[in-house]
Amino acid sequence: MGRVAIVTGGTRGIGRAISVGLKNAGYKVVANYFGNVDAARQFSEETGITSMRWDVGVYAECEAAVAKIAAEQGPVEVVVNNAGITRDAVLHRMSPGMWEEVLQTNLTSCFNMARLTIESMRERGFGRIINIGSVNGQAGQYGQVNYAAAKSGIHGFTKALAQEGAAKGVTVNAIAPGYVDTEMVRAVPPAVLEKIIARIPVGRLGRAEDIARCVLFLVADDADFITGSTLSVNGGQHMY
């Protein structure tokens, strides 16, 4: 019987590739989404993967969803915190709302989902939590103080929680993608995108599948010695 895996923001973009990769590897996957009902319906029809709507930034909604999934599918053993948004502006034009929304969806969501699943993981002696960070959380990015702060926060969250879970078989790792060809990146003006690609030594944007393969590597049962790490997947754009 496959392990139960939740992928937040799992119906589009990088999350979709992660959901499909996990399903193909034998996991029982529930893919979360929030606003785009049509994309989720199409995703479920095409892949046969259950999709479920809730706001990852709201604790009570996460709580209800995790309880439902555990009751219907079994205890949650894998969580991929992938849902994320951008609300870009230079700081002197950024509203408090733009700051709060990005922190809530990208960072508080990791607390919500980990908090609600970690007790059961600890009791069972097995758990895998993967948090999707960003090269922009590692290096910073003009116009993204909110996003860079949230993603940078994910990297600290990962290292702290990894220490807490280590003795109980719960590993916690982050993946820091570079620029990946999804709707989030397609929203970047073409002239800016051209400049970004010119700075990627591999010479192309990442593919969602490039990230999904790293998730599969990190969630494997025999990846139990890898915890607290950040896997950078950025075509050589940023190394440190």
Q: Which residues are catalytic?
A: 147
Asked if residue 126 binds ligand NDP (CB under 6 A), the reply is no
Nearest Cα neighbor of 130 from 167, 72, 181, 174 is 174
Q: Whose Cβ is closer to ligand NDP: residue 42's or residue 120's?
A: 42
Contacting residue, 49, 116, 118, 132, with ligand NDP by CB under 6 A: 132
Asked if residue 179 binds ligand NDP (CB under 6 A), the reply is yes
Question: In the block, which residue shows the tokens 């609300």?
Answer: 87
Asked if residue 112 binds ligand NDP (CB under 6 A), the reply is no
Asked if residue 99 binds ligand NDP (CB under 6 A), the reply is no
Asked if residue 177 binds ligand NDP (CB under 6 A), the reply is yes
To the nearest whole angstrom, how small is the minimum distance from the Cβ of residue 123 to ligand NDP? 26
Long-range CB contacts for residues 216-224, cutoff 8 Å, separation at least 24:
216/21, 216/22, 216/25, 218/128, 218/130, 218/171, 218/173, 218/175, 219/5, 219/22, 219/27, 219/78, 219/80, 219/128, 219/130, 221/126, 223/128, 223/171, 224/169, 224/171
Widest CA span in the chain: 52
Question: In the block, which residue shows the tokens 């940078």?
Answer: 152
Nearest Cα neighbor of 134 from 158, 114, 116 is 158
Backbone angles phi, psi at 160, to 5 degrees: -70, -45
To the nearest whole angstrom, how small is the minimum distance from the Cβ of residue 168 to ligand NDP? 26
To the nearest whole angstrom, how small is the minimum distance from the Cβ of residue 142 to ligand NDP? 15
Subset of 195-234 contacting ligand NDP (CB under 6 A) = none
Structure tokens given for 2: 């496959």
Asked if residue 108 binds ligand NDP (CB under 6 A), the reply is no
Beta-carbon contacts of residue 225 (< 8 Å; ≥ 6 apart): none
Q: Whose Cβ is closer to ligand NDP: residue 126's or residue 179's?
A: 179
Give CA–CA dist 63/65, Å, rounded: 5
Tell me the CB-side half-sphere exposure of residue 100, using CA atoms within 13 A: 4
Return the range that interacts with ligand NDP (CB under 6 A); candidates 78-86, 113-121, 122-130, 219-227: 78-86
To the nearest whole angstrom, how small is the minimum distance from the Cβ of residue 167 to ligand NDP? 29
Contacting residue, 4, 14, 49, 200, with ligand NDP by CB under 6 A: 14
Return the range that interacts with ligand NDP (CB under 6 A); candidates 66-74, 87-95, 117-125, 172-180: 172-180
Give the footprint of ligand NDP on this chain (CB under 6 A). 8-9, 11-15, 32-36, 39, 55-57, 82-85, 105, 132, 134, 177, 179-180, 182-185
